[in-house]
């Protein structure tokens, strides 16, 4: 039996969807069904209980899934070790990232990485934070990048960087002349916020609670670019990562202010599923992100990869 059969079967179990397993492996839904039936004929056992409306494995299917994961893990580790011995850095990296980081933090890193490792193809998905976790958990991507990383036993969390939260207003806003502002001074002004389930919005609400002010958004959006456009037309103030408004500030479209007497930050982290074997290309990509703006001096890959991940504060 080919190793691809075990991978497709594992993807099917983890996604609980024939269509998603097919899309991930670049085959048709019919091909997934045919391969499942071929595996059942091979083992002379029913693997998926088709009498249930929801996807459910039989006892034999659960045993096969556990064994498949172990075999695939060993195969991936072997493949990585052979690549490391040959000092080969090539292949594909699938990355899922939140919009603000993908649009404002990663471009320079990606430019450097693609220059130094032209044989590696990096594919990026721009997603909401909860979808990034889902992508990583279901092996739809190799790595994820999130803000305010959630502590979860299923993920490895590697610190990337910390951003500074500021107050952003239009250049024509009444507060535009100030260098800093307290949460109390923001009360009474229109507030443009992210949707409530977005981590940066949760951090903003915590800032308001700490400042003992009651501020409700007049507008709510699910991505950074729409929030910035609303601020530019003076629809209200917003609390944003400083790195996301650099260009608008230079052009005089947005004025930024620090919070008075206290600094608020947004931790950003790289995540991957615990136990996942990182290829040499993935290790070098993580090394670049965690090592600063400069690319690694050598293309050689060490066996210990990126080393142990340090602890990172989490906020939700």
Confidence of residue 311 (pLDDT cuts 50, 70, 90): very low
**What CA–CA distance (Å, rounded) separates 277 from 37?**
29
**Hey, what CATH topology would domain 162-265 get?**
D-Maltodextrin-Binding Protein; domain 2 (3.40.190)
Helix (H) or strand (E) holding 194: strand 192-194
Percent of the chain with pLDDT over 70: 92
User: Residue 296: its pLDDT value, please?
Assistant: 35
- 305 pLDDT more than 70: no
Higher pLDDT: 83 or 260? It is: 260
Question: What predicted TM-score, i.e. pTM, was given to this entire model?
Answer: 0.73
- For the ranges 154-158, 271-275, 296-300, which has the lowest average pLDDT? 296-300
Average pLDDT of the segment spanning 187-216: 94
- Is 90 exceeded by the pLDDT of residue 236? yes
Taking residues 71-77, what's their average pLDDT? 82
Round to the nearest angstrom and report the end-to-end CA distance of the chain. Answer: 44
- Fold designation for 3-84: Arc Repressor Mutant, subunit A (1.10.10)
89-159+270-290 and 162-265 share one fold: yes
Q: Is 64 in contact with 58 (CB distance < 8 Å)?
A: no
* Helical pair 280-290 and 107-116, crossing angle rounded to 10 deg: 130
Averaged pLDDT, 293-316: 34
Half-sphere exposure of 54 (CA within 13 A, CB side): 2
Q: State the virtual CA torsion across 123, 124, 129, 132 in degrees, nearest 10.
A: 0
Average the pLDDT over 220-246 and give the result. Answer: 95
Q: Assess contact for 9 and 65: CB atoms under 8 A.
A: yes
Average pLDDT over residues 234-255: 95
Task: Grade residue 316 by pLDDT with cuts at 50, 70 and 90.
Answer: very low
Tokens 């983890």 belong to: 14
pLDDT tens, position by position, 121-153: 999 999 999 999 999 988 889 999 999 999 889
The CATH T-level fold of domain 89-159+270-290 is D-Maltodextrin-Binding Protein; domain 2 (3.40.190)
Please give the residue that has the higher pLDDT: either 294 or 42. 42
Q: Which two tokens stand for residue 213?
A: 């002010």
Mean pLDDT for the chain overall:
87
> Average pLDDT in the 33-49 region?
91
Beta bridge partners of 94: 123
- Per-residue pLDDT for 261 more than 60? yes
Kindly compute the dihedral angle of the four CA atoms of residues 282, 287, 293, 297, in this order, to the nearest 10 degrees.
-100
What are 82-120's pLDDT values in tens digits?
877 777 788 889 999 999 999 999 999 999 999 999 999
Is the pLDDT at 70 greater than 90, yes or no? no
User: If pLDDT is split at 50, 70 and 90, which confidence band does 1 have?
Assistant: low
Domain ranges of the chain: 3-84, 89-159+270-290, 162-265
Considering only CA atoms, which of 139, 268, 267, 131 is closest in space to residue 197? Answer: 131
Which whole number is the average pLDDT over 32-54? 89
Residue 11 pLDDT:
87
Contact 40, 64 (CB under 8 A): no
Q: Which residue has the tokens 């947004």?
A: 266
Residue 237 Cα distances to 32, 39, 136, 174, 278, angstroms: 50, 58, 33, 10, 42
Least confidently predicted of 2-6, 33-37, 178-182? 2-6
CA distance linking residue 278 with residue 128, whole number of Å: 24
What pLDDT is stored for residue 315 in this prediction?
35
SS3 93: strand
């Amino acid at each position: 039996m080919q190793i691809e059969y075990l991978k497709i079967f594992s993807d099917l179990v983890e996604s609980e969807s024939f269509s998603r397993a097919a899309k991930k492996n670049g085959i048709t839904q019919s091909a997934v069904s045919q391969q499942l039936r071929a595996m059942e004929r091979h083992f002379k056992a029913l693997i998926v209980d088709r009498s249930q409306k929801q996807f459910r494995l039989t006892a034999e299917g659960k045993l096969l899934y556990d064994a498949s994961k172990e075999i695939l893990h060993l195969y991936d580790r072997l493949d990585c070790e052979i690549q490391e011995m040959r000092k080969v850095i090539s292949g594909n990296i699938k990355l899922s990232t939140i919009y603000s980081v993908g649009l404002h933090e990663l471009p320079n890193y990606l430019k450097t990485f693609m220059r130094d490792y032209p044989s590696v193809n990096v594919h990026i998905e721009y997603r909401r934070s909860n979808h990034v976790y889902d992508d990583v958990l279901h092996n739809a991507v190799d790595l994820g990048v999130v803000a305010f990383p959630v502590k979860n036993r299923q993920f490895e969390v590697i610190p990337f960087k910390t951003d500074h939260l500021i107050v952003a207003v239009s250049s024509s806003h009444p507060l535009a002349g100030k260098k800093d502002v307290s949460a109390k001074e923001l009360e009474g002004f229109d507030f443009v916020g992210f949707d409530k389930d977005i981590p940066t919005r949760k951090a903003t609400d915590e800032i308001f609670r700490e400042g003992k002010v009651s501020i409700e958004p007049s507008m709510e959006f699910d991505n950074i670019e729409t929030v910035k456009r609303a601020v530019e037309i003076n629809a209200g103030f917003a609390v944003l990562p400083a790195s996301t408004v650099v260009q608008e500030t230079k052009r005089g479209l947005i004025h930024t202010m620090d919070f008075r007497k206290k600094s608020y930050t947004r931790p950003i982290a790289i995540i991957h599923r615990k136990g996942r074997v990182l290829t040499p290309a993935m290790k070098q990509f993580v090394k670049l992100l965690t090592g600063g703006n400069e690319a690694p001096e050598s293309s050689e890959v060490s066996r210990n990869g990126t080393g142990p991940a340090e602890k990172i504060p989490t906020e939700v």
